[in-house]
Amino acid sequence: MEALLASTFTVAIAEIGDKTQLLALILAARFKNKTAIILGILLSTLANHFAAAWLGQWAINWISPEMATYIVAFSFFAIALWVLVPDKVDAQESRFYQMGPFIATFILFFLAEMGDKTQVATVVLAAKYDALPLVVLGTTLGMMIANVPVVIAGHFSAEKLPMKWIHRGCAALFALLGVATLLY
């Protein structure tokens, strides 16, 4: 249960102001079918985060448990620093828009998540908890918690939130996860 809760909370917080959340805002403004956008986000995130979690679990099996602890802790500290750098997303027209809201969302979200903070966090969380289904479920739930309200309230803007404090809080959360990894 710890893997599910930690994954959900970590990704939900890390996603605030992230480029995929900004992409959700752009898609909500572009398309009227909010259900198709939400379904596209859900399935894209499941696919992307399953692959990331699988990679994390696969990679952790190739190194000693002691080395794995240091790598996972270092990764959390690195993500903590990375979170402090705000994301931007291009709002220009995409050729994927022609494919409709579901396909456009699925493809654009999948591509935007590649190498993103939340994808890297999914790799690290899967390596830490050795509970692939719970981590994937948790990180996907975290993405949905952060993105569905943005899609539903398409006029909502991440710029209205105190982003500096959100990023700092998220960085502190990842740093705490790094410390907890070293201590436990």
Query: Using CA atoms, how far apart are residues 106 and 38, in angstroms rounded to an integer?
Result: 9
Average pLDDT over residues 52-59: 88
Q: Which comes out higher in pLDDT, residue 139 or 78?
A: 139
Q: What's the pLDDT score for residue 182?
A: 78
Helices (H), 61-129: 65-83, 101-113, 117-129
Would the CA dihedral through 8, 10, 16, 20 be positive or negative? negative
CA proximity to 167, closest of 90, 93, 79, 83: 83
Query: Using CA atoms, how far apart are residues 122 and 1, in angstroms rounded to an integer?
Result: 16
The answer to whether the CB of 174 falls within 8 A of the CB of 42 is no
Model pTM? 0.75
Q: What's the pLDDT score for residue 67?
A: 76
Per cent of the chain over pLDDT 90 is 32
User: Which of 4-13, 118-127, 147-156 comes out lowest in average pLDDT?
Assistant: 147-156
Query: Using CA atoms, how far apart are residues 126 and 107, in angstroms rounded to an integer?
Result: 24
Q: What's the pLDDT score for residue 94?
A: 65
Average pLDDT over residues 161-182: 72
- Local confidence band at 93 (pLDDT 50, 70, 90 cut-offs): low
pLDDT for 56-91, tens place per residue?
888 888 877 777 778 777 877 887 787 677 655 554
The answer to whether the CB of 55 falls within 8 A of the CB of 121 is no
Find all residues with CB under 8 Å of 21, minimum gap 6, and list them: 15, 146, 147, 150, 158
Q: What's the pLDDT score for residue 89?
A: 54
